[in-house]
Structure 1
């Protein structure tokens, strides 16, 4: 199942960050290696889709993070505004 959230913080020097789920719940940690595009450093507030991994220690982590484009409604509103 794919979840969605926004980047809370990311430290490019350590390659670690945290993401806040859109639907509530605990903030999840992730690593650079979990990013679909490791060349792009996530920035605070960017929206990402991700999957959740339950670790043996009972913690949950975000994995397979992929950046999301504009919200569908935002793109629709922008197109309507351009048409006048």
Structure 2
């Protein structure tokens, strides 16, 4: 299931950042390797679709991040 959120922070030197879920909850960590468009750096407030996985210690992490295209969001209006 695809979730949506906005980039809260991104550190290009570390290649890691956080995304804040639109439906609420704590920000999730992600790595640049988890971006589908890994040639582009994410910017704060950009909207992305993502999936989650559970990593060490039961923490959730955002994976398979893909930039959300305007007008291409199937989650709205449902």
Higher strand share: 2
Which range, TM-score by smaller chain? Answer: 0.7 to 0.9
Three-state SS of the structure 2 residue aligned to 1:7 is strand
Shift, 1:55, TM fit: 1.4
Q: Quote the RMSD (CA, aligned, Å).
A: 1.4
Encode CA deviations 1:30-65: one digit per residue, 9 max, x unaligned: 000000011110000000000000114110000000
Three-state SS of the structure 1 residue aligned to 2:17 is strand
**What count of residue pairs does the alignment treat as equivalent?**
73
Q: Where do 4+ consecutive residues of structure 1 move more than 4 Å?
A: none
Match of 2:11 in 1: 11
Higher helix share: 1
Match of 2:31 in 1: 31
The CA distance in 2 between the partners of 1:60 and 1:53, in whole Å, is 6
- TM-score normalised by L of structure 1: 0.82
Once the two structures are superposed, the pairs formed by residues 1-84 of structure 1 within 5 Å of their partners are 1-71=1-71
- TM-score normalised by L of structure 2: 0.88
